Amino acid sequence: MDQPTATSGTLVYLPEQSRAGRWAGACFKAAIFLRMFQPLVVLGGAAIVILLSTVCPVAAQTGGPIITGSNPNAPITGIQNLVTLDVWLLIAAGIGGIGWALINGMRRQSWGAQLIFGAACLGFGGIVALWNEYANGRSPDLPTF
């Protein structure tokens, strides 16, 4: 099998030999096409904004923000919800990693990396959850022994 090198002409045969090479060639062609029309898209968008602001300037001052409605705390609440979702995803990944390590241990395969990274996900999820509680002004409820 021929090894591709950087000399001229040898990289031309790569798309003929591999699916990844064809996919990369298509991506390069799409990037070149989009790069050619990028100034036109920016100019067109700017022209539309200027046209709309001159035709109807009152539209910029009516109603609340588009994203948040009339609630000014909506972006903050959204970030808090994303942090909470990330905590749950980290905890789920930690439980999944530890479970995967147990299954691999029973099948007599390597299990150390799964156990370490599963425990790291659980630990980091717990630290982020604790930080999130303190950052939002709530004290975490700790169990009494």
pLDDT in tens, 93-111: 999 999 999 999 999 988 8
3-state secondary structure of 69: coil
pLDDT in tens, 38-64: 889 899 989 988 888 787 776 556 555
- The arithmetic mean of pLDDT across residues 69-94, rounded, is 80
132 class by beta-carbon count within 10 Å (0-12 exposed, 13-18 middle, 19+ buried) = middle
Residue 98 confidence (pLDDT): 92
- The arithmetic mean of pLDDT across residues 131-138, rounded, is 80
35-56: b or e for each residue (b if 16 or more CB lie within 10 Å)? Answer: eeeeeeeeeeeeeeeeeeeeee
